[in-house]
A and B are shown apart, each in its own frame.
Chain A
């Protein structure tokens, strides 16, 4: 190819994308464009929509790898199930990146109709005023919300209304090496932190070179552990009765850090920092007998370990009544003030994605819990639980938990930072730091960030 030809080609490519940008109007305009089929032929998508006469619903998500494939199954399934709407899924990196981008675009051109958020972003979404009240939508489109998992609904409820449609739900569980525990005379992991300390030496003695327990410093795991022992994360009933203004996790976090300190003293703890992959590899390698991470990993952990893996609920402090966990994970929010047909299509997709059959398949192939109660009655789930009873144990922890402000989970705009603060403290303690000091540091940072965020 001559140099000139390349230059022309380059110009053409640049020009074309420029046109695409100019013509990527809001969805309603695209529908209008669809009516004038043929006139707009520069943008591929518009062309597609024009051919099929479908309304385009833009969906932003943060799934990748295997999860992306599973999400595509759902999107394709929805698109094939009806001929009015076409959901176009676009990946946007990670939860925090996608969230920042969504807020920055502030509903402008190119904003999605539906976006997947992480549990940590629900308050920020609500505060932004950019997302639709899902409870209102449910009423408008006559959706029966009682079919949804109550715990998940609780979590995404702000001021009495649901602001996100639960989608990918998970919580932390204990994974254990069945044989190693058996060697130490245990059928299941101890229910309590105290029990773990007691069992530490037995496990070490019965298994050469193995330590009893580990956990990463991931803040999400820590606040779920506090929840299970009945400790709130922030004040004002975890932000449920009024806007959270300061940290309330002091007592619970101190006890947890002290537990880690005691366990280190009992030589029952292995430090993997914040790496989930490292802790998983250590577990598979027989370096630790138990560890805690999200249930979303269940399938892959069980598949990759060269020994039998057990799953159990997370421990609590001996003097606390176990409360269960909150329904973490992710959910879909819907942009506010969408054109009527886009809104209708978007809601139809949300309903589809949360339907019992879809949730059952999604859960079975990923390790998330179904957010639709009906899903647990489907053949898919029944078969799964029959084949892998451990998966049911994980779900039961959530399903059988209490329903109160503690297990509704923390509602606070700085949840991301709070988890970071807890993580920083945990790293300190993992490396031999003083628990009280670690808690003080975390609380100071949390309160400062919260004050700043609330002042805005």
Chain B
């Protein structure tokens, strides 16, 4: 009986794994195909067209956009994690009147999708003269209610006694924050950083709206430029470029996965 249910579990897991991996494998297949074959339903390439990758690289100027994406994603991640850490710390460890309301406000912010704010953000950035700057792309993305929530959940696991012991020992807030809270929140911080980097890396609409010129545009926009307008899609090229763009995120996932899992479930279960 037990064996039977285990087999069922594995069957479901394998099915899910296949569902998850299929788009990736399919993209790899397409990226090595000839476009005419794709349009004729030939998804298994007869000849492997590795040159698609070289073409994608040069045609879309991927390296240039990638540089922008690295800067935007890295700075966004750093700022978002730093801000979320400080905000969560204040909510958890500094008792002040209305801290519950402040936290509630942050949380209600989580329910407003970024897309709704797109126009207002654009007007703000435009009025501030930040159109076509890294700052313009980054600033609206550095406040993260989710980040605050995640880190708060983690910090609530830290016994209040540690804070009291620190107070009595005579160390300041920042000392306690730096020496105790940050090291003890390490997993959640890494989780948030990886998550934030991926979101930022994959962001398309906002960087497009916040820019009118190519100078600071990010990789997803570069990718979009390859996708044809008003005509048949050049799938092999789009697939090849997609693979190139995906590689950094895959690397990140590969190294961050265990911590990501741990961090996300930790906050959820306890």
Query: Which residues of A approach B to under 8 Å, CB–CB?
Result: 10, 13-14, 17-18, 20-22, 24, 44, 58, 60, 62-68, 90-94, 97, 100-101, 104-105, 108-110, 112, 168, 170, 276-277, 280-281, 284-285, 294, 296-297, 299-301, 303-306, 329, 366-368
* 8 A-B residue pairings within 8 Å (CB atoms): A18-B133, A64-B227, A64-B228, A93-B221, A281-B41, A284-B41, A301-B232, A303-B36
Q: Give chain B residues whose Cβ lies under 8 Å from the Cβ of A108.
A: 126
B136 within 8 A of A: yes
Q: Is B122 an interface residue (CB 8 A)?
A: yes
A281 touches B231 (CB 8 A): no
Is B134 in contact with A13, judged by CB distance below 8 angstroms? yes
Query: Cβ of A22: which chain B residues have Cβ within 8 Å of it?
Result: 129
B226, closest chain A residue (CB): A65
Q: Which of B75, B132, B205, B234 contacts A21 (CB 8 A)?
A: B132
Contact of B208 among A14, A63, A97, A329 (CB under 8 A): A97
1/0 per residue, CB under 8 A from A, across B181-220: the answer is 0000000000000000000000001001100111110000
Whether the Cβ atoms of B133 and A17 lie closer than 8 Å is yes
Rank and list the top 6 A-B pairs by shortest CB-CB distance, nearest first. Answer: A65-B228, A300-B232, A304-B39, A17-B133, A296-B230, A285-B41
Q: How far is the CA of A67 from the CA of B225 in the complex (A)?
A: 10
**A224–B221 Cα gap in the complex (Å)?**
31
B41 nearest CB neighbor, chain A only: A285
Given A17-B132, A97-B208, check contact A105 B126 (CB 8 Å).
Answer: yes
| A58-B212, A93-B224 given; 7 more Cβ-contact pairs under 8 Å | A17-B132, A17-B216, A22-B129, A65-B231, A277-B232, A285-B40, A294-B230
| Interface residues as binary, B115-146 with A (CB distance below 8 Å gives 1, 0 otherwise) | 00001001100100111111110000000000
The CA of A146 and the CA of B33, in the complex, are separated in Å by 47
Binding site for A on B (CB under 8 A): 35-36, 38-41, 71, 75, 119, 122-123, 126, 129-136, 205, 208-209, 212-216, 221, 224-235, 237
Which residue among B71, B135, B227, B232 has the maximum number of chain A CB atoms within 10 Å of its CB? B232
**Contacting residue for A24 out of B39, B132, B205, CB 8 A:** B132
Tell me the complex Cα distance, A112–B134, Å. Answer: 20
A109→B127 CA distance, assembly (Å):
9
B208 contacts A92, C-beta separation under 8 Å: yes
Q: Would B40 and A304 count as touching, CB distance under 8 A?
A: yes
* Contacts A60-B212, A104-B123, A284-B39 given; does A13 touch B71 at CB 8 Å: yes
* Residue pair B39, A90 in contact (C-beta under 8 Å): no
Q: Which of B136, B213, B229, B235 contacts A90 (CB 8 A)?
A: B213
A-B contact count (CB 8 A): 134
Of A13, A20, A68, A329, which one neighbours B132 at CB under 8 angstroms?
A20
CB pair A65–B234 under 8 Å, yes or no, is yes
CA distance A173 to B234 in the complex (A): 21
How far apart sit A297 and B226, CA to CA, in the bound complex (Å)?
A: 16
A301 to B209, CA, bound (A): 32
Closest chain A CB from B132 CB (angstroms): 6
- Report Cα–Cα, A21/B36, bound state, in Å: 44
B135–A17 CB distance below 8 A: yes
Kindly state the separation between the CA atoms of A279 and B159 in the bound complex, as whole angstroms. 61
A67 interface neighbour in B40, B208, B228, B237, Cβ under 8 Å: B228
A110 touches B228 (CB 8 A): no
CA distance A239 to B8 in the complex (A): 62
Q: Which residues of B contact A44 (CB under 8 A)?
A: 215
A21-B229 in contact given A90-B212, A284-B40 (Cβ < 8 Å):
no
Rounded to whole Å, the gap between the CB of B138 and the closest CB of chain A is 9
A20 and B215 within 8 A (CB) = yes
List chain B residues, Cβ under 8 A from A296.
230-231
How far apart are B127's CB and chain A's nearest CB, in angstroms? 9
A65 partner residues in chain B, CB cutoff 8 A? 225-229, 231, 233-234, 237
Which residues of B have CB within 8 Å of A58? Answer: 212
Closest CB of chain A to B118's CB: distance in Å?
A: 9
Contacts of A64 in B (CB 8 A): 224-229
CB contact between A110 and one of B131, B233, B234 (< 8 Å): that residue = B131
* B132–A91 CB distance below 8 A: no
Question: How far is it, in angstroms, between the C-alpha of A66 and the C-alpha of B232 when the chains are bound?
Answer: 10
CA distance A294 to B231 in the complex (A): 9
B35: chain A residues at CB < 8 Å are 304
Chain B residue with minimal CB distance to A9? B71
Do the beta carbons of B135 and A18 come within 8 Å of each other? yes
What separation, in Å, do the CA atoms of A91 and B222 have in the docked complex? 10
Find chain A residues with CB under 8 A from B214 CB. Answer: 90-91
A303, B35: Cα distance in complex, Å? 10
- Complex CA–CA separation, A99 to B221 (angstroms): 17
The answer on a CB contact under 8 Å between A93 and B36 is: no
Tell me, in angstroms, the Cα distance from A163 to B234 when the chains sit together: 33
